[in-house]
Amino acid sequence: MEWTPATLWLAAALVLGLAELTSGALLLLALALAAALTAAATALFGLPVSGQLLAMGILAGVLVPLTIKVIRPRFSPRGVAYGTTGSGVERGKRYLTLERDFDGASGLKINGDFYRLRVDGSTTTRLPPGTAVIFKEFDGTTAIVTPVETGASSQEQ
């Protein structure tokens, strides 16, 4: 088998498509599709290297934003705002504390991720499971919280 430019682009598309299986971000899938379309354009029109690179750039410039803005949101669960944790959207919300199974650490689950907690103004890092707290801010990956007085508890997550 002779390696023509079109087969090289198809091989690149295959590698990118297989690499997408490890990421799940759909970015590599868009690049794989752009490479496959570049292979088709190369085979049909006999593009020189500069034309191939131009075709790949244009196709990637169209397909990547289209994939990120239109297709990827269809694969995300509803109601979860990925990428917003730590931006302040959870400030002031009430949560119930959890205890992590493998090490017994106290923490909160925010957007599906577990964060260890620390009570604001102290070094306390353990609260009983089910304690109502109000999230204040993050200190690194530690959630700074203030306990809610008894009698006013509701579960946010």
Tokens representing 41 are 């354009």
- Looking at residue 117, its pLDDT comes to 96
- Looking at residue 153, its pLDDT comes to 44
How far is the C-alpha of 67 from the C-alpha of 72, rounded, in Å? 6
Digitized pLDDT (tens) for each residue of the chain, 157 residues in all:
799 999 999 999 999 999 999 988 899 999 999 999 999 999 999 999 999 999 999 999 999 999 988 888 787 666 665 666 777 778 899 999 999 999 999 999 988 889 999 999 999 999 999 999 999 999 989 999 999 986 544 445 5
For 120, residues 6+ apart whose C-beta sits below 8 A from its C-beta are 136, 144, 145, 146
Beta bridge partners of 95: 133
- Looking at residue 75, its pLDDT comes to 77
- Looking at residue 122, its pLDDT comes to 94
How far is the C-alpha of 150 from the C-alpha of 54, rounded, in Å? 65
Q: What is the pTM of this model?
A: 0.55
CA 27 to chain centre: 12
Beta bridge partners of 96: 132
- Looking at residue 13, its pLDDT comes to 97
- Looking at residue 79, its pLDDT comes to 61
